[in-house]
A and B are shown apart, each in its own frame.
Chain A
Amino acid sequence: MADSHDMVKKVFTTNSARVETNKGDAYYDSLFEKAKLRLKALKKQRPLKDIDMMDIVESEGVNRRDFMKWASATTATLMLPPMFTPLVAEATELMNRVPVVWIELQDCAGNSEALLRSSAPTVDDLIFDVLSLEFHETIMAASGHQADAQLEDAIEHFKGKYLLFVEGAIPTAMNGQYGTIGASGETFQEHLERLSKDAAAVVAVGTCATFGGIPAAAPNPTGAVGVMNIVKGKPVINIPACPANPANMVGVVLHYVLTGQIPELDSLLRPKFAFGYRIHDNCERRAHFDAGEFVEEWGDHGAQNNFCLYKVGCKGPMTFNNCSIIRYNEGANWPVGVGRGCIGCSEPDFWDKYAYERPMADANIKAPTGGVEKTVDQFGLGLLTATTIGIGVHAVTSAMVGKKTVHTKDGEE
Chain B
Amino acid sequence: MRTVDIVERIEGEAKLVCTWDDKIITNAQIEFLNFRGFEYILEKKAPLDALIYTPRICGICGQAHLKATVEVLENIYKNLNYEIELTNKAKLLREIGLNIEIIDSHIKWFYMFIMPDITALSSKDFSSYKPLKGEKWLKSSFITSEIIKSLAIIGGQWPHTSYMVPGGVVSDPTLLDLTTMKNYLDSAINFFEDDFAGVCIDDYLSFSKAEDLDKIGKDLKDFIDLCFEHGFDKIGKSYNRHLVLSSTELFKVGKSNKRVINRVDLERIEESCEYTFNIDKNKQSKEAYTWAKNVRYADNFFETGPLSRAVISKRAFISKLHEKFEDSVLTRVMARMDEFVHLLYITKNLISKIDISEESFVKPKISLNEIKNAEAKSVVEASRGSLFHDISIKDGKISKYNVITPTVWNLGPGNKSEPSVAQKAIIGLDSIEKAEITLRSFDICSVCTTH
A213 to B, closest residue via Cβ: B56
**Set B51, B53, B361: member contacting A298, Cβ < 8 A:** B361
Given A214-B36, A299-B363, the answer on whether A351 and B53 have CB atoms closer than 8 Å is yes
Interface residues in B102-129 by Cβ distance below 8 A to A read: 108, 112, 116-117
A339 to B45, CA, bound (A): 23
Q: Is B189 an interface residue (CB 8 A)?
A: no
Asked if A343 contacts B162 (CB within 8 A), the reply is: yes
What are 20 A-B contacts defined by CB distance under 8 Å? A110-B159, A113-B60, A143-B8, A143-B436, A178-B35, A179-B34, A180-B33, A214-B53, A218-B41, A219-B40, A299-B360, A328-B152, A329-B152, A329-B158, A333-B157, A335-B163, A336-B156, A338-B171, A356-B51, A357-B48
Given A144-B7, A304-B172, the answer on whether A332 and B34 have CB atoms closer than 8 Å is no
Q: B62 to chain A: which residues have CB within 8 Å?
A: 108, 110
Given A221-B40, A221-B41, the answer on whether A299 and B361 have CB atoms closer than 8 Å is yes
A336 to B155, CA, bound (A): 10
Given A137-B13, A298-B363, A356-B49, the answer on whether A303 and B170 have CB atoms closer than 8 Å is yes
Q: Which of B34, B163, B447 has the most CB of A within 10 A?
A: B34
Q: How many residues of B contact A (CB 8 A)?
A: 75
Q: Is A28 an interface residue (CB 8 A)?
A: no
A133 to B131, CA, bound (A): 11
**Set A129, A140, A221, A329: member contacting B145, Cβ < 8 A:** A329
Interface residues of B (CB under 8 A from A): 4-13, 15, 33-38, 40-41, 43-46, 48-49, 51-53, 56-60, 62, 108, 112, 116-117, 130-133, 138, 141-142, 144-145, 148-149, 152-163, 165, 167-168, 170-172, 279, 359-363, 436, 447
Asked if B162 contacts A340 (CB within 8 A), the reply is: yes
Please give me the 9 A-B residue pairs with the lowest Cβ-Cβ distance, nearest first: A299-B361, A110-B59, A221-B37, A328-B157, A335-B156, A338-B171, A109-B59, A329-B152, A124-B138
A147 to B116, CA, bound (A): 13
Q: B53 to chain A: which residues have CB within 8 Å?
A: 214, 217, 351
Given A299-B363, A304-B172, the answer on whether A328 and B447 have CB atoms closer than 8 Å is no
A322 to B408, CA, bound (A): 38
Known: A123-B141, A221-B37, A355-B45; 15 extra A-B contacts, CB below 8 A, are: A108-B62, A111-B59, A113-B59, A116-B145, A128-B133, A129-B132, A141-B132, A144-B6, A171-B36, A182-B13, A183-B4, A183-B6, A213-B56, A298-B361, A355-B46
B150 to A, closest residue via Cβ: A332
Asked if B5 contacts A144 (CB within 8 A), the reply is: yes
Q: A138 to chain B: which residues have CB within 8 Å?
A: 8-11, 112
B105 to A, closest residue via Cβ: A113
Q: B48 to chain A: which residues have CB within 8 Å?
A: 355-357
Q: B131 to chain A: which residues have CB within 8 Å?
A: 139-141
Q: Chain A 171-200 against B: per-residue CB contact (8 Å), 1 yes, 0 no? A: 100000011111101000000000000000
> For the side of the interface on A, what is the size category?
35 or more
Q: B168 to chain A: which residues have CB within 8 Å?
A: 298-299
Min distance, Cβ A398 to any Cβ of chain B, angstroms: 25
**Set A123, A178, A182, A218: member contacting B6, Cβ < 8 A:** A182
Interface residues in A277-323 by Cβ distance below 8 A to B read: 297-299, 303-304
Q: B15 to chain A: which residues have CB within 8 Å?
A: 183
Q: Is A38 an interface residue (CB 8 A)?
A: no
**Set A108, A169, A181: member contacting B11, Cβ < 8 A:** A108
Asked if B138 contacts A108 (CB within 8 A), the reply is: no
Q: Is A145 an interface residue (CB 8 A)?
A: yes
Asked if A338 contacts B163 (CB within 8 A), the reply is: yes
**Set A107, A140, A220, A338: member contacting B132, Cβ < 8 A:** A140
Min distance, Cβ B432 to any Cβ of chain A, angstroms: 9
Asked if B59 contacts A143 (CB within 8 A), the reply is: no
Asked if B46 contacts A358 (CB within 8 A), the reply is: yes
Min distance, Cβ B96 to any Cβ of chain A, angstroms: 13
Q: B38 to chain A: which residues have CB within 8 Å?
A: 214
A124 to B58, CA, bound (A): 23
Q: Is A224 an interface residue (CB 8 A)?
A: yes
A339 to B35, CA, bound (A): 33
